[in-house]
Chains A and B, each alone.
Chain A
Amino acid sequence: DTEVTQTPKHLVMGMTNKKSLKCEQHMGHRAMYWYKQKAKKPPELMFVYSYEKLSINESVPSRFSPECPNSSLLNLHLHALQPEDSALYLCASSRAAGQHFLVDTQYFGPGTRLTVL
């Protein structure tokens, strides 16, 4: 089973709203990722968690706040977003093994289509 689930599928929010995206996997993976993808472009890495600890932050604005409550769940909290933040947000997971935590295949969820008005 290589399933990564994401909720909601679609989200529309105003610039003053606070919302959260949720990602879940039950494959025993210990590395989880958030990507942002604009139309017809490749995904751009935002954050990486390894063993529930933030390992990589690709200089993402603080209006995006990730959280990893446990090994199966990854959240992305959104606050005061801008219209240019409208995009598809993809979650992915992979196995992790110590310092080689990124040396494995990433499996992606279906994404959340975010629209900021």
Chain B
Amino acid sequence: AQTVTQSQPEMSVQEAETVTLSCTYDTSESDYYLFWYKQPPSRQMILVIRQEAYKQQNATENRFSVNFQKAAKSFSLKISDSQLGDAAMYFCAYRSAIGGATNKLIFGTGTLLAVQP
């Protein structure tokens, strides 16, 4: 069974600085998707970034980028130029690329990010 681990329950960053959130996963599959979701205090889960495992190039969305290391099964999220609005719980998630009823999003336990002014 696949697992997702986020080893940092809480992190803090100064406004305008850069922070990296770590995520590791365990799978025997070769084709899958990885996601970072953000859940601010308003509680809506928002997709931050998505990575397909078959792509070697790291995904980037504006100030958000990932460092995807397939061999190491690592998928970290880098937030550049941190803003107060980035304060949220961040969940890393895994999903197999194989369809079917057993295919589910597998979430990590989350990292609570605080942004200091």
Interface residues, chain A, CB within 8 Å of chain B?
2, 40-43, 45, 48, 55-56, 88, 90, 92, 97-103, 105-111, 113
Told that A40-B110, A42-B91 touch, could you supply 14 new A-B pairs with CB distance under 8 A?
A40-B112, A41-B109, A56-B101, A90-B45, A97-B99, A99-B99, A100-B98, A101-B99, A103-B98, A103-B99, A105-B47, A108-B45, A110-B43, A111-B45
Say yes or no: A102 contacts B95, CB within 8 Å: yes
Say yes or no: B110 contacts A43, CB within 8 Å: no
Contacting residue for A100 out of B42, B99, B109, CB 8 A: B99
3 smallest beta-carbon distances between A and B, as pairs? A100-B99, A42-B107, A108-B45
Nearest A residue to B35 via CB reads: A105
Interface residues, chain B, CB within 8 Å of chain A?
33, 35, 37, 42-47, 50, 89, 91, 95, 97-101, 103-105, 107-110, 112
Contacting residue for A110 out of B42, B50, B107, B112, CB 8 A: B42
What are 11 contact pairs spanning A and B, CB under 8 A? Answer: A40-B89, A42-B108, A42-B109, A48-B101, A56-B104, A88-B43, A90-B45, A99-B100, A101-B99, A106-B47, A110-B44
